[in-house]
Amino acid sequence: MNKKEISSGTEKAENLTRKTPAKKPAAENVKSKKPAAVKQTETKKNVKKQSVKSVKNTDKKKTRTRRVKQISEKKRKKIEARKQKKLEAAKIRAEKKQKKLEKKLAAKQKRLDRIAAMKEKRAEAREKRRARRDMLKHETKDKRIQRKKEEHAAKVQARVAKRQAALADKRAKREHRLKVRAEKRAAKNDKRHAPGFGGWLAAVIALGVTTLALGSMMTYGWITMNGMEADMAATHTESLYELNAIVDNLNTNLSKARVSNSRNEQVRLLSDIAIESEMAETVLERFPMETRLTQNMTGFINKMGDSAQSMLYSVASGKKLTDSQIATIEHMYNTNLELKSIINELTANANGKDMLAAMRGKDDCLMFVTFGEIENNTIETPKEIHDGPFAENIKKVTAKNLEGLEEISASKAEELAKSYFESYNATSVTCTGETAAQQLSLYNVTISTPDGEMGAQLSKQGGKVVEFNSYKDCSDKNFSVERCIDIATDFLKNLGYNNMKAVWSSENGTCCNLNFAYEKNGVVFYSDMVKVKVCEERGIVTGMEALSYVLNHTDRTVATAKISKTEAQNNLHSGFETEASRLCVIPTDGGNEALCYEFYGTYGGSTYYIYVDAVTGDEVQVFTVIGTAQGKALM
């Protein structure tokens, strides 16, 4: 039943009711019938609404269920991600802990290996010294003849090696010149054009190509620059491979030189080491890095070449390598072995990108990091004694030894110089001028003798001899070191330098170089030092320098030692073998001085001077005699 039919029936019923009000029961009957239809309609509507509402409720429940499921899924994923993150963090911590433990164990093993190696080296050194003493003691006439033959062969081998090196250098230079000439000739031929119409046409085409190139240069220019950088990076990579090969060869030759006892073999090995050191230095100069990252390595390689060359001359002249020179070879081998390990690893891991990064100056690139590590950790050049302990200590700015003395004239300086050098049979003494140095005013004096001219410098204040030099060379050895010490001591007394003790000696050819320090009550004052050179041929002093003494010497109040010599010695390394000791005053940083115990001895085949503070017991200074062929200090 539709809406229109219901509406029309209702209207009819209403009209009948208005016309016949007396027939109420009929109307009521009609009325009672009509609500049934309406009620049925409303019932259907209610059912329909309830069904729609139930559908909507069902949809809402499904939507809510889906949302709850989505939220719970996200939460579950977050929880799982958090758990996974915790597991990964725990794994990383465990790996770090394991690596740290492995590193610690490796360091401990390395330390044990190093201790074992040092013990082995000491045993080898003792065995070598014992074998050498036995050889010299039991050398027969035939062995002496054989040794002389070997010395002669070594000289010949050295000359041949030198000649071959010169020829190789000359050949390389000639090949380079020829290569440059050929490149210039090829470039010149490329520029040459054919005559006539062909040449004109080529010029027109070239002009068109040039115009087109100029139009596209800004777009494609970076390609060329990248290509150039790539070529340069390839060149530097080749240099790295070359350095790696040189360091490997140095390691092989140094390893052989450690055990070689044949003069011919030593000459060959030392020649190769000297040449390869020069090659390594040349390659290092080509690397695209700042000097600060390679200066220590370059210095070590340079020193290695100089030491090898010095040893080569010594062996070629018939001498045997000294214990100090053998220790130098050992030091060079150990240092080069560490360099070899690092350079090999760098060569294996470096690529073109790393070299480009180095060319562009990136501090975090592999090249910079590796060479920085070498500079900071690998190359440890010890303090070497070439002129004795504290020989270069000139820090004072006032001449304490000259305070209160009168200023002399030039004529007085000449008179004093004549008396000082009377034993040299001076024929004339002339003051040639004045010099100011280290807050000192000095007279320059020339002394003429039958052996030639000598020069001296006397202080204007007090007339003390500060420096003296003779220009005559010495060619033979007639005086021992002990006799040279006596000659130098008498010379210093004549100049007014009393209570001086020889603390260092070294022989350079036929000259004996000595260091004297002021001594008082058994204590040596290293700040008050005088250097003396004695000719071992004629037995006379040919040089003297007392600037350190003049600037520093004065009456001092020496501190009292708070610890004994035995207590100070107990603070030294357990493997250090003390040969001599004494109480001394040494200069420290800031111009101060410290009372110390000086211990002279050996460790691992090397010679050391160790200074322990006599008040605090702290180790304040260590010197090592590595890389020199000089004699020991006199204690």
Per-residue H/E/C for 408-470:
CCHHHHHHHHHHHCHHHCCCEEEEEEEEEECCEEEEEEEEEECCEEEEEEEECECCCEEEEEE
Map residue 515 onto helix, strand or coil. Answer: strand
Q: Which helix (H) or strand (E) holds 229?
A: helix 197-259
Gap between the Cα atoms of 478 and 537, Å rounded: 5
Gap between the Cα atoms of 505 and 532, Å rounded: 10
Q: Which helix (H) or strand (E) holds 522?
A: none
What average pLDDT is seen over the chain? 75
pLDDT at 223 over 80: no
Higher pLDDT, 354 or 564: 564
Nearest to 307 by CA among 627, 549, 58, 591: 627
pLDDT at 28 over 60: no
Q: Where are the domains of the chain?
A: 3-124, 200-378, 400-552, 565-625
Gap between the Cα atoms of 487 and 511, Å rounded: 13
> What values do phi and psi take at 156, rounded to 5?
-60, -45
Reported as a pLDDT band with limits 50, 70 and 90, residue 541 is very high
Mean pLDDT of 380-400: 53
pLDDT at 628 over 50: no
pLDDT at 583 over 90: yes
Nearest to 459 by CA among 439, 443, 436, 438: 443
Gap between the Cα atoms of 214 and 223, Å rounded: 15
The residues, ordered by sequence, that sit 6+ positions from 570 with a Cβ below 8 Å of its Cβ are none
| pLDDT for the residue numbered 32 | 47
Gap between the Cα atoms of 519 and 501, Å rounded: 6
Nearest to 295 by CA among 304, 306, 305, 284: 284
Reported as a pLDDT band with limits 50, 70 and 90, residue 436 is confident
What are the structure tokens assigned to 449, written together? 């003798």
| pLDDT for the residue numbered 613 | 92
Mean pLDDT of 500-523: 86
How large a percentage of the chain has pLDDT more than 70?
Answer: 68
Gap between the Cα atoms of 90 and 97, Å rounded: 10
Mean pLDDT of 392-406: 65
Mean pLDDT of 305-316: 78
State the DSSP code for 137: H
Mean pLDDT of 211-224: 48
Q: How far is CA 248 from CA 245, 276, 280, 319, in A?
A: 5, 10, 11, 29
Q: Are strands 523-535 and 511-520 parallel, antiparallel or unpaired?
A: antiparallel
pLDDT at 264 over 60: yes
Q: How many CB atoms lie within 10 A of CB 495?
A: 17
Reported as a pLDDT band with limits 50, 70 and 90, residue 374 is low
Higher pLDDT, 330 or 198: 330
Tally the C-alpha atoms within 13 A of residue 145's C-alpha that lie toward its C-beta.
Answer: 3
Mean pLDDT of 565-572: 90
Q: How many CB atoms lie within 10 A of CB 628?
A: 20
Q: How many CB atoms lie within 10 A of CB 623?
A: 20
List the single range of 24-33, 37-46, 256-265, 316-325 with lowest mean pLDDT.
24-33
Map residue 511 onto helix, strand or coil. Answer: strand
Q: How many CB atoms lie within 10 A of CB 447?
A: 22
Reported as a pLDDT band with limits 50, 70 and 90, residue 275 is confident
What are the structure tokens assigned to 174, written together? 């000639």
Q: How many CB atoms lie within 10 A of CB 139?
A: 12
Q: Are strands 577-587 and 523-535 parallel, antiparallel or unpaired?
A: parallel
Mean pLDDT of 157-161: 73
pLDDT at 159 over 60: yes
Gap between the Cα atoms of 12 and 26, Å rounded: 13
> Greatest CA separation found in the chain?
182
Using one digit for the tens of pLDDT, what is the confidence trace for 118-140? Answer: 888 888 888 887 777 777 767 77
The burial of 275, by beta-carbon neighbours within 10 Å (0-12 exposed, 13-18 middle, 19 or more buried), is given as buried
What are the structure tokens assigned to 567, written together? 């207590």
pTM for this entry: 0.43
Gap between the Cα atoms of 359 and 367, Å rounded: 10
| pLDDT for the residue numbered 222 | 44
Q: Are strands 465-470 and 500-508 parallel, antiparallel or unpaired?
A: unpaired
Q: Which helix (H) or strand (E) holds 351?
A: none
Tally the C-alpha atoms within 13 A of residue 117's C-alpha that lie toward its C-beta.
Answer: 8
List the single range of 96-105, 426-435, 506-515 with lowest mean pLDDT.
506-515
Using one digit for the tens of pLDDT, what is the confidence trace for 53-68? Answer: 666 677 677 777 776 6
How large a percentage of the chain has pLDDT more than 90?
Answer: 11
Mean pLDDT of 161-168: 72
Top-level CATH class of 565-625? alpha beta
Q: Which helix (H) or strand (E) holds 139?
A: none
| pLDDT for the residue numbered 276 | 86
Mean pLDDT of 374-403: 56
Q: Are strands 593-603 and 577-587 parallel, antiparallel or unpaired?
A: antiparallel
What are the structure tokens assigned to 559, written together? 């501190």
Gap between the Cα atoms of 595 and 611, Å rounded: 9
The burial of 268, by beta-carbon neighbours within 10 Å (0-12 exposed, 13-18 middle, 19 or more buried), is given as buried
| pLDDT for the residue numbered 328 | 80
Higher pLDDT, 407 or 147: 407
pLDDT at 286 over 80: no
